[in-house]
Chain A
Amino acid sequence: MLIVEDLHVSVGTTQVLKGLNLTVPTGEVHAIMGPNGSGKSTLSYVLAGRPGYIVTSGAVTFDGQDLLALAPEERARSGLFLGFQYPVEIPGVNNVYLLKAALNAARKHRGLQEVDAFEFLGLVREKMKLMQMPETFLSRGVNEGFSGGEKKRNEILQMLVLEPRLAILDETDSGLDIDALKVVAAGVSSLRDANRSFVLVTHYQRLLDHIVPDKVHVLAGGRILRSGDHTLAHELERRGYDWVVSEAA
Chain B
Amino acid sequence: MTENTALVELVGRQYQHGFVTDIESDTVAPGLDEDVVRFISRKKGEPEFLLQWRLKALRHWFTLREPHWARAHYPAIDYQSISYFSAPKAKTDGPKSLADVDPKLLETYAKLGVPLHERARLAGVAVDAVFDSVSVATTFKERLSAAGVIFCSFSEAVRNHPALIEQYLGTVVPVADNFYAALNSAVFTDGSFVYVPKGVRCPMELSTYFRINAANTGQFERTLIIADADSHVSYLEGCTAPMRDENQLHAAVVELVALDNAFIKYSTVQNWYPGDERGVGGIYNFVTKRGECRGRNSHISWTQVETGSAITWKYPSCVLRGEGSIGEFYSVATVNNYQQADTGTKMIHIGRDTRSTIVSKGISAGHGQNSYRGLVKILPSAHGARNFTQCDSLLMGGTCGAHTFPYVEVKNPTATVEHEASTSKISEDQLFYCQQRGIATEDAVNMIVSGFCKSVFKELPMEFAVEAQNLLAVSLEGAVG
Contacts and interface: CB of A to CB of B under 8 A. Distances in A.
Contact of A73 (B2, B430, B441, B447): B441
A91 B438 contact: no
A169 B222 CA distance: 61
A51 B436 contact: no
A92 B453 contact: yes
Nearest to B3: A51
Interface stretch (A100-108, A192-200, A213-221): A100-108
Contacts of B448: 90, 93
A67 interface: no
Contacts of B144: none
Interface string A57-92: 000000000000001110111000110100110111
Contacts of A142: 433, 451
Interface in B1-43: 1-3, 6
A87 B430 CA distance: 9
Nearest to A54: B2
A101 B435 contact: no
A104 B437 CA distance: 10
A51 B432 contact: yes
Interface residues of A, number: 32
A242 B292 CA distance: 75
A87 B437 CA distance: 12
B46 interface: no
A48 interface: yes
A76 B436 contact: yes
B435 A73 contact: yes
Smallest CB-CB A-B distances: 8 pairs: A92-B451, A93-B451, A105-B438, A102-B437, A76-B438, A92-B454, A72-B435, A88-B429
Contacts of A106: 438
Interface of A: 48-52, 71-73, 75-77, 81-82, 84, 87-88, 90-93, 97-99, 101-102, 105-106, 109, 141-142, 158, 162
B239 interface: no
A73 B450 CA distance: 20
B451 A91 contact: yes
A101 B439 contact: yes
Contact of B452 (A73, A92, A158): A92
B447 A98 contact: yes
B399 interface: no
A101 B443 contact: yes
A88 B430 contact: yes
Nearest to A74: B438
11 contacts: A51-B428, A52-B428, A73-B440, A76-B437, A77-B438, A87-B433, A90-B433, A92-B452, A93-B447, A98-B437, A109-B438
B439 A105 contact: yes
A49 B434 CA distance: 12
B450 A92 contact: yes
Contacts of A91: 451-452
Nearest to B448: A90
Nearest to B428: A51
Interface string B400-441: 000000000000000000000000000111101111111111
Interface in B433-481: 433-441, 443, 447-448, 450-455
B447 A101 contact: yes
B158 to A, nearest CB: 45
Given A51-B428, A73-B439, A88-B429, A98 B450 contact: no
B451 A141 contact: yes
B194 to A, nearest CB: 33
Interface string B188-230: 0000000000000000000000000000000000000000000
Contacts of B435: 49, 71-73, 76
A82 B436 contact: yes
A102 B433 contact: no
Contacts of A98: 434, 437, 439, 447
Contacts of B1: 71
Contacts of B441: 73
Contacts of A73: 435-436, 438-441
A48 B438 CA distance: 11
Contacts of A105: 437-440
A47 B299 CA distance: 55
B456 to A, nearest CB: 10
Contacts of A75: 436
Contacts of B428: 51-52
Contacts of B443: 101
A102 B450 CA distance: 17
A126 B436 CA distance: 23
Given A51-B2, A73-B441, A101-B443, A93 B450 contact: yes
A142 B427 CA distance: 14
Contacts of B3: 51
A141 B2 CA distance: 29
Given A73-B441, A76-B438, A105-B439, A50 B432 contact: yes
Given A91-B452, A92-B450, A93-B451, A48 B436 contact: yes
A158 B437 contact: yes
A90 B437 contact: no
A90 B451 contact: yes
A53 to B, nearest CB: 10
Nearest to A109: B438
- In this complex, the member of B1, B438, B439 whose beta carbon has the largest number of chain A beta carbons within 10 angstroms is B438
Given A71-B6, A88-B429, 8 more contacts: A72-B436, A73-B436, A84-B436, A91-B451, A98-B434, A101-B437, A142-B433, A162-B437
A72 B440 CA distance: 9
A162 B453 CA distance: 28
Nearest to B429: A88
- In this complex, the member of A93, A99, A106, A141 whose beta carbon has the largest number of chain B beta carbons within 10 angstroms is A93
Nearest to B441: A73
A127 to B, nearest CB: 15
Interface in B224-273: none
A106 to B, nearest CB: 5
